[in-house]
Amino acid sequence: MNLTISSVTDLRPGDIGFSSIKGRVGAGVLAGQTAIDLVALLRGRPVETSGWITHAFVVIDQTTVIEAMPNGARFAELADRVRPGFAYARLPLLEEERALVAKHAAEMIHTPYGFGQYAALAWLTLSGGSTANPRGMLARWVQRRHTLTGLPRRAICSQLVDEAYRRTGVQLFSDGRPPAYVTPGALWWRAAQLGDVCVL
């Protein structure tokens, strides 16, 4: 079943938003996702992407989202994101779980952006690393966490979303991958399998 979203009142806490990033950053994200997908194809693994999706965020309420950005994870306005160029996914969650996803996303505010994460993920894929069982120094670097909070030291947008769900007790990927091993395209691909989606 597909979602119908025509205004912010149709969105709920914990919904996942998607869009594309313009300019050089968006081109870099798309290149990283494409490299990962090409290597996956060569290795006989499924492609996990949707070409135009290069950004993801969590809906907190009918006015606010949380997203990872180059200046760090931040709150942003929801109002201008209910228009063409955006898409949303709603996973089958209890209301309490929705509130927890929003809470855990908010705990990651100001987390620095993981500029090197795409390069690391692409290299791990190119070097034959498995997303289900990543090993080595680079794999440990991607998964670095704060000792006290257990939160990621750095995160790209899709990692922030996946981490908020994981801390709620919802494992989005069933292949055993750590939460750090997810791109925006892979997140869209998986959310479309698990829940209802709407492309505006």
The DSSP code sequence of 172-189 is: --SS---TTS--HHHHHH
Residues 6+ apart with CB under 8 A from 27: none
Q: Which positions ≥6 away from 69 have C-beta within 8 Å?
A: 113, 157
The Cα 114–Cα 154 span in angstroms is 5
Could you tell me if residue 2 is inside a domain? no
CATH number, domain of 117, equals 3.90.1720
pLDDT score for 100? 97
The pLDDT of residue 21: 75
pTM over 0.75: yes
Does the residue 81 lie in any domain? yes
Residues forming a β-bridge with 77: 64
Mean pLDDT (whole number) for 55-73: 94
Least confident of 43-57, 67-81, 96-110: 43-57
Residue 1, in any domain of the structure:
no
- Helices marked H in the chain — which ranges? 23-42, 95-106, 117-126, 136-142, 157-168, 184-194
pLDDT surpassing 90 at residue 94:
yes
Distance separating alpha carbons of residues 40 and 166, to the nearest angstrom: 24
Give the range of the structural domain holding residue 20, as residue numbers without chain letter.
8-199
As for how many domains the chain has, the answer is: 1
130 in a structural domain: yes
In a domain, 3, yes or no: no
Tokens of 186: 């892979």
User: Per-residue pLDDT for 18 more than 90?
Assistant: yes
